Chain A
Amino acid sequence: MTSKVLEFERPIVELEGKIRELKLLSSGSQEMAEEIERLEEKARQLQRERFAALTPWEQVQLAKHPDRPYTLDYLAEIATEFLELRGDRAYADDPAIVAGMCRIGGRPVLTLGHQKGRNTKENLFRNFGMARPEGYRKAQRMFRMAEQFHLPLLAFIDTAGAYPGIGAEERGQSEAIATCLEVLSTLRVPTISVVIGEGGSGGALAIGLTDRILMLEHAVYSVISPRGCASILWKDPEAEQAAATQLKLTAHDVHRLGICDEVVPEAPGGAHRGLASTAANLREALQRHLGELDGLLARGTDALLAARYDKFRRIGHVERVAGA
């Protein structure tokens, strides 16, 4: 049941509400049943049309929709035997990143991901999914453990960014993120990341230097939040809609730019309106990519590492002038 409705979702949700009322009133007459069916088809069509024409700003709103499923929601759907493992063994456990072992399709996997809270209390505990250095150091522990026990690594990305705070800087936020990148770049097991909501800057990428990068249909991946970008380049945070458009941050844009390997379709109306079918799509994609990476690994770990290096080596747009 939806608790928050975005502006562009409203007509659809209202129509659905009317259909529900009508169902309650209807006494099972044939005429009513036909009318309900007609309205249901109309609601589906409305949703299809509206979601086919989402602006980048609306995609951003969907990516951070308060009802959107989070890492643990997907794990509950696609994994069995998930056991959380905690702590960086040095300073603290950071609940903004959850990690653990689980099985997907019977296969043991090391998994981790940013975790947002569902309400104020949870969000205070999870720090709104914005990790501190200890979160990234816990992640490094998990990366190394995946390698040690030959477990593929699956990372769920969903954060507005790494936390900007005094303590985070004191404990080396930059180094924590940078080391995640370096460790991932040479990790000798197959790695997959999937952006399930917000892919916010370095705090997202820290767990995303992986063999495959998947994105859910309404997820976004960006170098800076549209609001941050707007306040710097437009000198006006309210220009965030324009910034969202310019940043080319939607899943399809990021796919076109050669970064995202596959856009995974969500339930009609977004993952928050159909967790089960979205998770089923994700599971299918994950297992397919894992299978491909297994094939690569069969040719030797070096082949896997070379392919990963090349994947990131190629990303970017560089022009050359003659005679310089």
Chain B
Amino acid sequence: MAWWRRKKEALDKDSTQAKVSIPKGLWSKCESCGEITYTDELIQNLRVCPVCGHHGTMPTAERIAATLDAGTWQEHDTELRSGDPLGFFDSQHYKDRIEKAVRSSGATEAFRSGVGDIDGVPVSIGFFAFEFMGGSMGSVVGEKVTRVFERALELSRPAVVLSASGGARMQEGVLSLMQMAKTSAARARLRERGLPYISVVLHPTTGGVAASFATLGDIIFAEPKALVGFAGPRVIQQTIGQELPKGFQRAEFLLEHGIIDRIASRHELKEQIATLLRMMTGLPAKAPPPEAAEAEAASAEASPAP
């Protein structure tokens, strides 16, 4: 009966590839409580530990499948690739780092953008792929995030971005920094048009992503215990030279300090986003029993567009 139990074939084709790349372990151990769970069962449970509720790392493909209605995801901007504008070299060339990230993550960049439906509500949406260079934002990620907002404007839809990022990508230097400006300016256009933007901050979100569009949502959701902040805990500890309080920068801390609106578990997130978006865009409420769905859809069509 839980809405998140979907059939296997509902996963898009990329997500099947991603699943293949998961270590072939039949069993998975919870990072938090050490409980051993069948990996398949854990994936079915959106990688939430059935014992302690710990939200484990979720590959982007599974995230997309868990957020959007089956068969509605249309990915855009897949032709965009990072170049190497600075000719950056540390212990290796930036180009080589990118190639490695492509091979190990199966993604082409640290962000995937497109359109889809969340519980029947059409949105322009983007997902950070933390497994690709720590979800860092260079020119391509900035461009794709900007396009999520611009596409929302074009289609008169709400925008949703799920962030998980270490911040701006150092290898593109000040060009990465400026993506904060570009994305925030695009976000501003949405506000001027009165279109909703919901930001979901996932573990972890810091630096230039936290200090731009991720904290500019009309509504900001976080997953339980997600670490979100401007500076990373290590930097803060080095700067102030003292121990950080327990739970510092975690979702619960952010909620207490008025920085986010809600903490939602993976099992609630999709439904809560859709519920709010319906209210924000003048759509009627969703009727819970499936028999009523048809009548509901008919009345939704009859009501004037927002």
Chain A residues proximal to chain B, CB less than 8 Å: 162-166, 168-175, 177-179, 181-182, 185-186, 199, 201-202, 205-206, 208-209, 221-224, 228-229, 232-234, 242-243, 246-249, 254, 257, 259, 308-309, 312-313, 315-324
Contact = CB atoms under 8 A, between A and B. Distances in A.
B195 interface: no
A315 B178 contact: yes
Interface in B70-107: 78-83, 85-86, 88-91
Nearest to A230: B90
A78 B290 CA distance: 71
B83 A318 contact: yes
B184 interface: yes
Given A178-B184, A316-B139, A201 B177 contact: yes
B91 A182 contact: no
A313 B146 contact: yes
12 contacts: A163-B239, A169-B248, A181-B180, A181-B184, A181-B185, A182-B184, A221-B177, A228-B235, A229-B170, A312-B181, A315-B179, A320-B80
A100 B176 CA distance: 31
A257 B175 contact: yes
Given A169-B236, A205-B180, A316-B139, 13 more contacts: A164-B239, A174-B214, A177-B230, A178-B213, A182-B188, A202-B207, A205-B177, A223-B172, A313-B146, A316-B143, A316-B182, A318-B82, A320-B80
Contact of B143 (A162, A169, A308, A318): A318
A178 B146 contact: no
Given A178-B213, A222-B173, A233-B91, A312 B178 contact: yes
A254 B188 contact: no
Nearest to B108: A324
A177 B189 CA distance: 18
A208 B82 CA distance: 25
A173 B85 contact: no
A53 to B, nearest CB: 20
A316 B90 contact: no
A317 to B, nearest CB: 4
B209 to A, nearest CB: 9
A324 B83 CA distance: 16
A165 B239 contact: yes
B175 A315 contact: yes
A319 B173 CA distance: 17
A179 B216 contact: yes
B174 A259 contact: yes
B170 A172 contact: no
Contacts of B88: 246
A109 B185 CA distance: 24
Nearest to B244: A166
B305 to A, nearest CB: 26
A316 B80 contact: no
A184 to B, nearest CB: 8
A239 to B, nearest CB: 8
Given A172-B258, A178-B213, A319-B82, A205 B236 contact: no
Given A175-B259, A205-B177, A233-B91, A316 B231 contact: no
B187 interface: yes
A165 B176 contact: no
A165 B108 CA distance: 35
Nearest to A169: B229
A138 to B, nearest CB: 17
Nearest to B191: A182
B250 to A, nearest CB: 11
Nearest to B212: A178
A185 B183 CA distance: 10
Contacts of B192: 186
A313 B195 CA distance: 20
B195 to A, nearest CB: 14
Contacts of A249: 173-174
B20 to A, nearest CB: 21
Contacts of B216: 175, 178-179, 182
Nearest to A310: B185
A173 B230 contact: yes
Contact of B170 (A221, A247, A315, A320): A247
A293 B33 CA distance: 60
Given A174-B215, A223-B173, A318 B230 contact: no
Contacts of A234: 90-91
Contacts of A257: 85, 173-175
A312 B185 contact: yes
Contacts of B78: 324
Nearest to B249: A169
B11 interface: no
Contacts of B179: 315-316
Contacts of A208: 181
Contacts of A223: 168-170, 172-174, 176-177, 208
Given A181-B181, A209-B181, A246 B231 contact: no
B295 interface: no
Contacts of A242: 90
Contacts of B143: 316, 318
B79 A322 contact: yes
A177 B228 CA distance: 14
B306 interface: no
B86 A174 contact: no
Nearest to B240: A165
A182 B139 contact: no
Given A248-B174, A324-B78, A317 B181 contact: no
A174 B259 CA distance: 9
